[in-house]
Amino acid sequence: MSEQYFIQKCIISAEDAKGNYSMMAHLDVDKQTKQAYENMVTEINEQLHFLNNRYQYLQQQSQKSDKS
């Protein structure tokens, strides 16, 4: 299995976790906990940004090698 395969799996999992954190931030919880969940959403967005960029890079490299 390739890195691209695992990145896709990570992206799917991270998107799912992001949705859960976002929903938990909207629950009737104290302000500090709500902020913690919101911070987790921000952090996972940064991770998703990295994963998406890496995935695009790998796709580009794969296309270049296919053309060679």
Domain assignment present for 34? yes
Domain assignment present for 9? yes
Predicted confidence at residue 66, as pLDDT, reads: 82
Predicted confidence at residue 65, as pLDDT, reads: 85
Distance CA 61, CA 37 (A): 36
Predicted confidence at residue 7, as pLDDT, reads: 98
What crossing angle do the helices spanning 3-25 and 31-67 adopt, rounded to 10°? 160
Domain assignment present for 17? yes
Predicted confidence at residue 37, as pLDDT, reads: 95
Predicted confidence at residue 44, as pLDDT, reads: 98
Spans in the chain with pLDDT lower than 70: none
Range of 44's domain? 3-59
Domain assignment present for 64? no
Q: In which residue are the tokens 């395969």 written?
A: 5
Predicted confidence at residue 1, as pLDDT, reads: 85
Say how many domains are in the chain. Answer: 1
Distance CA 60, CA 58 (A): 5
